[in-house]
Amino acid sequence: MKNLKRVLTVVLFALPLIAAQITYAGEEARKGKNDQDQGVFSIRGKVVDSETGSPLVFASVAVKETNVATVTNIDGEFLIKIPEADNSKNLEISFLGYKNKVIPIFQLKNDGFKNVIQLDPAPIPIKEIIVRPLDPEEIVRKAISNIGKNYEDKPNLMTAFYRETIRKNRTYVSIGEAAVEIFKAPYNNDLRFDGGRIYKGRKGSDVSKMDTVLFKLQGGPVSVLQLDIVKNTESIFTMDAMKYYDYSIKSVIEIDNKPHYVIDFIQKPSVDFPLFMGSFFIETGTYALTEAEFGFNLSDKEAVSSIFIKKKPLGMEVTPEVATYRTKYREQDGKLHFIYSRAEVKFKVNWKKKLFNTYYTTMSEIAITDRTDQEVIRIPSKDRIKYTDVFTEKVDAFTDPEFWGDYNVIEPDQSIESAIRRLSRKLKFSDRTDL
């Protein structure tokens, strides 16, 4: 008799209070028209450091004066579809610590040619910015106090691409992705509830590679939306949360052609429950938080495990090994908008009667690729993705290689791409054997 699969359910984000890409070339994309009908062309590129040639991961790529945007993947590569009507506009690429590069779109090659775009480092000596002693806590207080002024004050309807993966050791055993519609509430009042629904999604998985454990990732797109820490994370970016952290000024760097304080934070030694540590990137003029990189304090493994793990089989020990998060915002028309978040959590799984440990690594990310503040309505509650949902139970399997149709998809890194092909072949073979 075959072993029954026992369920291990985890969440990517530890606290309820806190917690490949796609772009979208206008409403016509929803109607299933092809590129020729839409008058859309594709630009493919790779963003690298001009001095070392190293890829710049999660760099922002946007069509200036429009809402079309995306980010590079872990190989520094991007693919973005642009309406012919915007051919006269410019493509702007930005990355923290580098000078922005603006390129007229008509100068870029298309038809599958990969444009290599080099960004120049933009070091800023801290003494050029700090002309008097600065209190890092005061900088954070000003950033929190200016949220209502710096961030979007109107509700937005956003289009986004979501992807989640699960790796067992080094092998991908589950991949899911979806185009998602998001209602984003304004930042300047009490109406802070964001909601999302799946527009189109697919999945692939190889349950046979999971031993006797069926690993489930809870939360899906809702979880990574919670990483909008300006709005959601009461345990990291509020006046009340500040009493739990020590702050220091690490440096000053350039982001989007503007100097930013890099404020490091770490929970105080006297705090006896696990919180976060990381860096805030705060613009020196407006005190706007434009990026954040942080991780969960894993020093108390037992306490952290009880927070992450929602369900596990008897006889299994599950220990979080890594928990890192990233959040980005984009300024447009004087207001900042949430554009990207990513979470990666690694667990060590140990059975009491087994000699070797197994490691599971989960990744979840969402990229905002289009938005509008016109005729925005909230998503009905019956259609919203819930925090308790398992995303891969909400979508169908990989079957059609042309699944995304006219959506503008940034190809995943090579390892995920090969895993998708493998899982797709496995599903097709299973379908044939069931006939």
Q: Please tell me whether residues 320 and 361 are part of one structural domain.
A: yes
Q: Let me know if residue 330 belongs to a domain.
A: yes
Q: Please tell me whether residues 289 and 414 are part of one structural domain.
A: yes
**Domain housing 39:** 23-119
Residue 76 pLDDT more than 80?
A: yes
Residue 346 pLDDT more than 80?
A: yes
Q: Please tell me whether residues 248 and 357 are part of one structural domain.
A: yes
Segment 127-139 shows an average pLDDT of: 71
Q: Please tell me whether residues 175 and 322 are part of one structural domain.
A: yes
Q: What is the CATH number of the domain that holds 83?
A: 2.60.40.1120
Distance CA 395, CA 173 (A): 16
Residue 435: predicted pLDDT: 41
Q: Please tell me whether residues 58 and 160 are part of one structural domain.
A: no
3-state secondary structure the chain: CCCCCEEEEEECCCCCCCCCCEECCCHHHHHCCCHHHHCEEEEEEEEEECCCCCECCCCEEEECCCCCEEECCCCCEEEEEEEHHHCCCEEEEECCCECCEEEEHHHCCCCCCEEEEEECECECCHHHHCCCCCCHHHHHHHHHHCHHHHECCCCEEEEEEEEEEEEECCEEEEEEEEEEEEEECCCCCCCCCCEEEEEEEEEEECHHHHCCEEEEEECCHHHHHCCCCCCCCCCCCCCCHHHHEEEEEEEEEEECCEEEEEEEEEECCCCCCCCEEEEEEEECCCCCEEEEEEEECCCCHHHHHHHHEEECCCCEEEEEEEEEEEEEEEEECCEEEEEEEEEEEEEEEEECCCCCCEEEEEEEEEEEEEEECCCCCCCCHHHCCCCCCEHHHCCEECCCCCCCCCCEECCCCHHHHHHHHHHHHHHHHHHHHCC
Q: Please tell me whether residues 110 and 184 are part of one structural domain.
A: no
Distance CA 148, CA 335 (A): 10
Q: Please tell me whether residues 273 and 356 are part of one structural domain.
A: yes
pLDDT-based confidence at residue 23 (cuts at 50, 70, 90)? very low
Residue 31 pLDDT more than 60?
A: no
Residue 149 pLDDT more than 80?
A: yes
Q: Let me know if residue 111 belongs to a domain.
A: yes
pLDDT-based confidence at residue 25 (cuts at 50, 70, 90)? very low
Residue 126: predicted pLDDT: 57
Of 20-24, 121-125, 231-235, highest mean pLDDT:
231-235
Q: Please tell me whether residues 357 and 243 are part of one structural domain.
A: yes
Q: Which of 84, 119, 154 represents a domain boundary (last residue)?
A: 119
pLDDT tens-digit series, residues 257-299 = 899 999 999 999 999 888 999 999 999 999 999 999 999 898 8
Q: Let me know if residue 126 belongs to a domain.
A: no
Neighbours of 272 (CB within 10 A): 9
Residue 35: predicted pLDDT: 42
Q: Please tell me whether residues 250 and 342 are part of one structural domain.
A: yes
pLDDT-based confidence at residue 21 (cuts at 50, 70, 90)? very low
Residue 408: predicted pLDDT: 55
Q: Let me know if residue 124 belongs to a domain.
A: no
Q: Please tell me whether residues 16 and 46 are part of one structural domain.
A: no
Q: In total, how many domains does the chain have?
A: 2
What percent of the chain stands above pLDDT 90? Answer: 37
Q: Let me know if residue 59 belongs to a domain.
A: yes
Q: Please tell me whether residues 287 and 309 are part of one structural domain.
A: yes
pLDDT-based confidence at residue 170 (cuts at 50, 70, 90)? confident
Of 25 and 366, which is predicted with more confidence? 366
Q: Which of 61, 85, 119 represents a domain boundary (last residue)?
A: 119
Lowest mean pLDDT among 31-35, 111-115, 310-314: 31-35
